[in-house]
Amino acid sequence: MNRLFLGWMILVLLLWCGPALAQDTVCVQCHGGLDGRLGAPVGQWEKSIHAANGISCHDCHGGDPSDFAMAMSPERGFIGVPGYEEVPAFCGRCHLGVREDYEKSAHGEALANGGPNCVICHGNHEVVKASIDLINEQDCTRCHDYERAAEVKGVIAETEAKLQSLDLSVASLHRVGIDVERLSGELFSTRNQFRRLFHTVNVEKLQQQRSAFDSDLAEIGAQVGEIENQLSQRKLIGGIIVVLLVLAGCVALLIRQTYHSEEEAGE
Amino acid sequence: MKIKKMAIDWLDSRLGVSELLHQQLGGYKLPRNINTWYALGAVIMALFGLQFLTGILLLIYYVPDTEKAFASVTMIMNEVPFGWLFRYLHVVCSNLIIVALLLHMMSVMFMGSYKRPRELTWISGFTLLNMGLVFCLTGYLLPWSQLSFWATTVATDAAGAVPVVGEYLVSFLRGGPSVGAATLGRFFALHVLVLPLALMGLVGFHLFCVRRNGISQAPFGKHYRPVEPSDTFTHEEHHDGIPFYPNYTSKELGVIFFALAILVLITFYAPWLFIPLDALVPADPFVTPDHIKPEWYFLWAYQTLKIFPSEFLGLAVQGAAMTFLALLPFVDRGPERRPGKRPLFLTCYLLGILLFVGISLWGHYS
Amino acid sequence: MSQATGKGKERRTFLGVLLGGFSVALGAALGWPVFKFLAPRAGADEAQQVKIPRDQVAIGGAHFFNFQGRPAVILQPEAGNFVALSAVCTHLGCIVKWENDKGEFLCPCHGGQFSASGQVLGGPPPKPLDTYPVAVVDQDIMVG
Ligand code: HEM
Ligand code: FES
């Protein structure tokens, strides 16, 4: 549990400090100037969620990002390009849970026989924030018919939508100064668990376990709702005070008026 | 009632209180054509009063330590009952005070009230405006957010453009080569002790000047009579004027209530106007956020620094503009106060306001 | 003229009372939050129960800790037997000292003496030290 907590803390931190962390490494400096296969990844990566969170070339490919000469030396941990079947292990160094469930899934078990690895669905260098739209007829039918995929999508759609809307609510609470550290932590870990479960692509399993996630999310939703309630109550009271102040101002000016008419009369 | 009368009589027979009260309240006569703009000084005092109250309350839970400041503010906002209210009131009120100060300055300027014999009133007032700005600048650092940290870094860095001593000046302001614990310490002391004391003293002097000279007539309407300039001290009397109390204080009270209504409205409905996203992230000395911008009242300065080819030039222009404003009564010496009869002044006045607004907007959108 | 003034006066009194009413309401709207802001809150340091690792309390020794916001002390007069007491002297509120050699408490302020069970042995204290319930759970002692 504590590990998990630490994990998301680091992630949240990374999310916050992100943009400036992905510094100009020697990898980017050199490859940025190259053409074609060797240069393209730089531009793609720049648009990725990895870049936005400060995950740079060497975080996946290893090597030394500060030394031109030794940048791609295996001595400095350079890994280079993983083979097709090595990709799940490659990505799974960070995305541990997802890897585990993926490996036990129909997708994972078929890997050796040309089953899909991570990048088939997510892309590689230009990987963007995962969304339910990754499951679509066009992409899934590259390998099999859409029927079963649609079924899976149907099962997770509602929970995914709830995750999305809670994300937005929590962000807007944060915007008005509410301390959402705990809430967004809970949300983050729930999403992780759910996304991980999704990678089993097993309709029965998803159906069985969905309700646990739904009740977790309902719990978080209730907390969010309570805070939102408080906020609108505040607004109501604030509104009453504004009205009182305006009325008091008007009365004071009316009093001023009574003196003013005396001044006029006395002229 | 009887007890009250006895108490007053007792004090009166010893200190002559009722005479004093009469002198300062009912017997203190204001010009008949006094207008709403003259209430702004009272509005500023009311807002500062509230600012002192909310500031003292925040001080109870705030911790001036780089490791703890942000967390203590988060706690005030989320755990202390009504902490959010007092924090937001403090933030919003600081902005309203700047608005009120600018309006007060612009109104006395428009009416030519800074002219002889009120030069000292003007200079003390202009100093108060600058103190208001320094109040905001020092207060801005205290929550130790990304915004605090980097806004202070940029603001203090500007002093580096001063020739010769610039670099030393920057580190003197910061108490070290970069913004850190030493900066927080000195800004905190300035914000909660030095500035409030100095402000109270200077407001006292300002009011003394105002009272000693008498309130100026508003230079409008057919009843306006220019005052003959005199070489000796004269209090501007208004024998047929209206009593300060209760005739004009009722007006001031009304205007104060309206100002408070605006304050509460923003506090409850749009406090985020003055709390950008970077203010919600704890300070990180190693990560500069994108697009860091100063508060709206410093945008003009920020943009002038960017317009000029060298920082020094920008700073010099700013200094010249501020000095010009400070010394306005000594530059613009003609006795005429009616705006209609001062076309040159009026043109400069309007252009000046346009320039200020224009440069600020430019700074905002650039 | 005098009639008009009379009417004006009445009107002004009415408005004055109205304004007074608004001011009182607004004053309360400010005063209540100020009061709540300053009122003491049940904080985290006032947890109902306090857990103390057993090995912190030596046999025959004393361990001082914070219980519900006040200083308290726990003793182990004989192995496995724990006593928790308030450490606030019942005379004028100083914190009592544990005298290891005597097995007694001495209050440094006016010389009040208490036994290891909190009974007054001498000096000005009017009543014994408060005692708190203690339970041993595995390697920890739960007070409260
Ligand atoms: C803390 C800040 C300030 C306070 C509390 C304050 C307060 C006051 C008050 C109560 C008055 C009397 C009536 C009126 O409001 O016109 C006054 C007058 C005046 N103030 Fe200020 N003021 C402040 C800042 C300023 C500033 C920034 C300026 C200009 C740069 C200024 C210039 C003047 C002048 C020239 C008068 C004389 C007006 C007249 O007699 O017609 N004051 N001030
Ligand atoms: S306070 Fe302990 S003896 Fe007086």
Closest C-chain CA to B81: C37
| Residue B83 pLDDT exceeds 70 | yes
CA distance C78 to C116: 11
**Contact A17/B at CB under 8 A:** yes
Cα angle value A74/A78/A84 (rounded, 5°): 115
Q: Torsions phi, psi of B278, nearest 5?
A: -65, -20
Computed over every residue of chain B, the mean pLDDT equals 95
Residue C68 confidence (pLDDT): 87
| Residue C18 pLDDT exceeds 70 | yes
Fold of B31-219+238-365: Cytochrome Bc1 Complex; Chain C (1.20.810)
Residue B1 confidence (pLDDT): 72
Residue B362 confidence (pLDDT): 96
| Residue A1 pLDDT exceeds 90 | no
CA distance B115 to B327: 11
Q: Determine if ligand 2 sits within 6 Å of the CB of residue C92.
A: yes
From the CA of B60, how many Å to the nearest CA of chain A?
20
Residues A161-187, mean pLDDT to the nearest whole number: 93
pLDDT bucket at C4, cuts 50 / 70 / 90? low
pLDDT bucket at A66, cuts 50 / 70 / 90? confident
Q: Which chains touch B (3 or more CB pairs under 8 A)?
A: A, C
- In C, what residues contact B, Cβ < 8 A? 33-34, 36-39, 41
Residue A23 confidence (pLDDT): 59
CA distance A99 to A107: 11
Residue whose structure tokens are 């940025």: A32
Neighbouring CB atoms inside 10 A of B227's CB total: 17
Chain A residue numbers with beta carbons less than 8 Å from the beta carbon of B280 are 174-175, 177
Q: Determine if ligand 2 sits within 6 Å of the CB of residue C118.
A: no
Residue C105 confidence (pLDDT): 96
From the CA of A247, how many Å to the nearest CA of chain C?
8
Residues A58-81, mean pLDDT to the nearest whole number: 89
Tokens coding A159: 């929970």
Q: For residue C89, which atom of ligand 2 is closest to its CA?
A: 2
pLDDT bucket at A183, cuts 50 / 70 / 90? very high
Tokens coding B11: 């004090």
Surface of A (207-246) touching C: CB under 8 A: 241, 244-245
Of the listed ranges A63-72, B82-91, B242-251, B357-366, the one predicted with least confidence: A63-72
Per residue in A197-239, pLDDT tens? Answer: 999 888 898 999 989 999 999 999 999 999 999 999 999 999 9
Looking at chain B, the whole-number percentage of residues with pLDDT higher than 90 is 86
Closest A-chain CA to C20: A248
For ligand 2, mutation pick of C85, C92, C97 (most atoms within 8 Å of CB): C92
Per residue in C34-60, pLDDT tens? Answer: 999 999 886 655 668 899 999 899 998
Per residue in C65-107, pLDDT tens? Answer: 999 889 999 999 988 899 999 999 999 999 999 999 999 999 9
**Contact B280/A at CB under 8 A:** yes
Specify whether the CB–CB gap between A154 and A147 falls below 8 A: no
Neighbouring CB atoms inside 10 A of A168's CB total: 9
| Residue B324 pLDDT exceeds 60 | yes
From the CA of C3, how many Å to the nearest CA of chain B?
20
> What separation in Å is there between the alpha carbon of C110 and the centre of ligand 2?
5
Most confident among A134-138, B262-266, B290-294, B309-313 (mean pLDDT):
B262-266
Q: What single-letter DSSP state applies at residue A4?
A: H
CA distance B82 to C29: 11
Residues B225-236, mean pLDDT to the nearest whole number: 88
Residue B134 confidence (pLDDT): 97
Residue A21 confidence (pLDDT): 45
| Residue B241 pLDDT exceeds 50 | yes
Query: Strand order in C113-114's β-sheet?
Result: C97-99, C104-106, C113-114, C120-122
Residue A33 confidence (pLDDT): 87
CA distance A72 to B142: 46
**Contact A255/C at CB under 8 A:** yes
Domain boundaries, chain B: 31-219+238-365
Most confident among A30-34, A152-156, B209-213 (mean pLDDT):
B209-213
Tokens coding B207: 């009011």
Residue A16 confidence (pLDDT): 45
| Residue A87 pLDDT exceeds 50 | yes
For ligand 2, mutation pick of C86, C94, C106 (most atoms within 8 Å of CB): C94
Looking at chain B, the whole-number percentage of residues with pLDDT higher than 70 is 100
Specify whether the CB–CB gap between C35 and C19 falls below 8 A: no
Residue A148 confidence (pLDDT): 86
Residues B173-178, mean pLDDT to the nearest whole number: 95
CA distance B4 to C140: 66
Chain C residue numbers with beta carbons less than 8 Å from the beta carbon of A265 are 1, 4
ipTM rounded to 2 decimals = 0.94
Residue C80 confidence (pLDDT): 87
Chain C residue numbers with beta carbons less than 8 Å from the beta carbon of A252 are 19
Per residue in A39-56, pLDDT tens? Answer: 999 999 999 999 988 889
Residue C3 confidence (pLDDT): 45
Contact A255 C19 (CB under 8 A): yes
Contact A251 C23 (CB under 8 A): no
Residue B148 confidence (pLDDT): 95
| Residue C31 pLDDT exceeds 50 | yes
Neighbouring CB atoms inside 10 A of B4's CB total: 8
> What separation in Å is there between the alpha carbon of C122 and the centre of ligand 2?
11
Computed over every residue of chain C, the mean pLDDT equals 90
pLDDT bucket at A24, cuts 50 / 70 / 90? confident
| pTM score of the predicted model | 0.87
pLDDT bucket at B200, cuts 50 / 70 / 90? very high
> What separation in Å is there between the alpha carbon of C88 and the centre of ligand 2?
9
Specify whether the CB–CB gap between C20 and C110 falls below 8 A: no
CA distance B265 to B272: 12
**Contact B60/C at CB under 8 A:** yes
Specify whether the CB–CB gap between B283 and B68 falls below 8 A: no
From the CA of A19, how many Å to the nearest CA of chain B?
8
Residues A22-40, mean pLDDT to the nearest whole number: 84
Per residue in B142-164, pLDDT tens? Answer: 999 999 999 999 999 999 989 89
Contact B268 A20 (CB under 8 A): no
CA distance B338 to A249: 30
CA distance B131 to B341: 33
